[in-house]
Amino acid sequence: MEIKDIKNAKIKAWVEEIKAMCEPDAVYVCDGSQEEYDRLMKKCVDAGLATPLNKDKKPNSFLFRSLPSDVARVEGRTFISSVKQDDAGPTNNWIDPKELKETMKGLYKGCMHGRTMYVIPFCMGPLGSPISKNGIEITDSEYVVLNMDIMTRAGKKVLDVIGENGEFVPCLHSVGKPLNNGEKDNGIWPCADVEHKYISQFPEEHLIWSYGSGYGGNALLGKKCFALRIATVLAREEGWLAEHMLILKLTNPKGEVKYVTGAFPSACGKTNLAMLIPTIPGWKVETIGDDIAWMKFGKDGRLYAINPEAGFFGVAPGTSDQSNKNALISASSNTIFTNCALTEDGDVWWEGIGYPAKGDLIDWKGNKRPALAKDKSPKGEEFAHPNARFTAPAKQCPCIAPEWEDPNGVPISAILFGGRRPSTVPLVHQSRDWNHGVFLGSIVGSEITAASTIDASQVGKIRRDPFAILPFCGYNMGDYFQHWINIGKNAPDQSKLPKIFYVNWFRKDDNNPDLPGGFMWPGYGDNSRVLAWIFDRCDGKDNADDTAIGFMPKAGAINTDGLANYYKKTLPEITKVDKEGWLKEIKDIRENHYPKFGKHLPKELSEQLDILEKNLSK
C-alpha cells in the first residue's frame, strides 16, 4: 500500500510530515498480510540480520541477534515529557517537551536515508472492541514490522476501522542509523549509541517518539509505550484502568468460572501464573493475557478486561517444561527469537531451558562455543542473553481461553499483587476493602538479592515497584494511586468491585535442608492451591481468619492433597502474621517509600498505614 491509499486525512498528513523530516528512500503502508510478513522476513534473512531455524524443530521461525548495546529497555533514556515536571512525578525521567522535541527533530532529520519508512496501522485489543485503541507506528525497521504483526492486530483492517475520522495514537520510531552513499547494514543490528537513544512519551498529546534502539519495548511502540505509558494517561482521563497485569480464566471442578488479573514485578512468575497447569484435580487455568490488562466498567457495573496484545513477548531464559510448558508450546512455530543461542541442528537454546545442549552453540553474540553439560552458565558467560526473548502468536498457546478476543472483555472477580519476598509477607492475604487493596498494590516490591545487584549494600533492601507499573506509568505515581482510589469511589456498584489479594510464592528458609532451593512453597502448578482459595473467597466462602494484615486462610483451608510433606509442614509458618516483620515493613514504607510522592500521596493510603500499625499493636 502507498500513502495515497490512506483515506484518513489526519493520518495522511502526519505520514507526509514524518516523510519530509526523516527522508526515507521509500514509504510503504503495511497491509498485515502473510505475503508481506514473508517478504520482509526474507529481506532480513538476505541482509544477514535473521537466521531461519530448522523447519522440523521450529517451523517458520527465525533468530535475530542485536548489538550488545541494545538488549533491553533503557529506563535511563525513557522520558515522560509532560508540560509540567510535577505531572511526570518523582519516579519518571523528565525533559521539557519543547526542548526534547527540538533535540529529537535534529536526530530525526534525514535519519531514514537508505531505508524504507514503514507505516503500521495497529489495534491494541480486539478489532471493534469498545475497550480497544488504535495507533499508527512509523518505523524504518523490518524487525519492528514483523514483531508488531505478531504482537498487535495490524494492517489494512485497522485503517478500515479507523475510517476517515477515527482517532489514533501517533508513534514514531527510527533505529537511528541512516545508510548514506549506498551503505548496507552488512548483517549488523542497526541502532544508535546509548547517549542518542530516546524513548519519549508526550502525555498531553498522546504522542510517542522513539529514536536509536531497535529492541523490544523501545521499538515495538504498541507495547509498554502505548499499552501502558500513554494508556495510563488515557485511562485516567476516561475513567478506566490500564495495567501491567496478566489475565487468567479459572474454572473449578463444578464448571464455575472466574477471571483474575495479577500484577507482579519482573522475575516473580507472572507469565508462569498466566499459563499455569494446576496440580489439584478438576481445576483448569486458561490464559487471556500474560502482560497487560485494560479494564472498563460494563453495563452491569463490573470491571471487564481485555488483553490489548495479540502475542507474547516473553523472556526465554528460565522458560522450561517445568516452569512454563505452555509458553514453550506457544513458541514452537511462527516465532521470532531474539538473542537466544543457536544449536548445531538449527534450534534455539537458553539457560534454564531444562536440558543441556549438544555439540557447539553459537551464542547470542555470534561466537561459536562448546556447549556445557548443564543448562546453566556462569554469570556474564551466558549463551543466551538473560533478557533473550520470543515473540509468539497468542492464538498458538494451548491454554488460550476462547474468550481471549471477546470484544466486550471478561468480568474480573479478583486482582492479585505479588513480589519476591523471602520473609514477612505471607503466602496469601486478602484486603478488607478496595482502599486497603490499593494500599497493598502501592507497597509491592521485591527483596534485593546478591544475584540481582552488584551493590552489596543493597542486599536485603526492598525494591518497591508499586502495582508492578513503576517504569511504565505515564504520569505522577501519587496521582496514579489516587486514580485507583477514585475508581473504587466512583464505581457504579461497589459491591461488584473485584476482591484484592497479595500473594508471595517466594518465602525462604535456607536452614531447612529438605526444601528445594530453600523455598517454603513449591510454586509453579501448586499455586493453583492458592487460586482455589481465592476463587472461594470471591464467592464469600467462610474460609478465612480476620488478622492484623487482612483476611488469611483458616487452618486446612488450602488444599494440600498430594503436596510434599515438607511443604505441608511449612504451610502454617507462611500463612501466619509475622508481627515484627510487618512493623519493619511499616517503618520502611514511612521512611523510604511514601515520602517520595510528597503531596501527591493520597491521604487514604497514609490512613491505611496507620490502621495496619494500630492492628499490629493490639
- Residues classed as catalytic: 268
CB contact at 8 A, 94 and 79: yes
Using CA of residue 519, residue 525, residue 530, residue 531, what is the dihedral sign? positive
For residue 519, CA distances in Å to 40, 168, 371, 504, 507 come to 46, 47, 30, 11, 6
3-state secondary structure of 262: strand
* Residue labelled with grid coordinates 473467597: 537
Query: Cα–Cα distance between 342 and 354 in angstroms, integer?
Result: 16
Query: Cα–Cα distance between 357 and 374 in angstroms, integer?
Result: 8
Query: Cα–Cα distance between 235 and 306 in angstroms, integer?
Result: 14
**Side chain identity, residue 184:** K
Using CA of residue 444, residue 448, residue 449, residue 454, what is the dihedral sign? positive
Grid cell digits, residue 367: 561466537
For residue 492, CA distances in Å to 412, 536, 604 come to 15, 24, 20
Those residues with Cβ within 8 angstroms of residue 563's Cβ, 6 or more apart along the chain or in another chain: 522, 526, 529, 571
On the CB side of 159, how many CA atoms lie within 13 Å of its CA?
Answer: 22
Query: Cα–Cα distance between 535 and 532 in angstroms, integer?
Result: 5
Query: Cα–Cα distance between 416 and 261 in angstroms, integer?
Result: 6
| φ/ψ (deg, to 5) at 106 | -65, -35
Burial of residue 284 (number of CB atoms within 10 Å: 0-12, 13-18, 19+): middle
- Least Cα distance to 441 among 235, 241, 231 occurs for 241
3-state secondary structure of 557: coil
**Side chain identity, residue 596:** K
**Side chain identity, residue 230:** I
From start to end of 125-256, where are the E strands?
A: 133-139, 153-154, 169-174, 198-202, 207-211, 241-243, 246-251
Query: Cα–Cα distance between 66 and 188 in angstroms, integer?
Result: 8
Those residues with Cβ within 8 angstroms of residue 537's Cβ, 6 or more apart along the chain or in another chain: 414, 430, 499, 501, 543, 544, 551
Query: Cα–Cα distance between 308 and 225 in angstroms, integer?
Result: 13
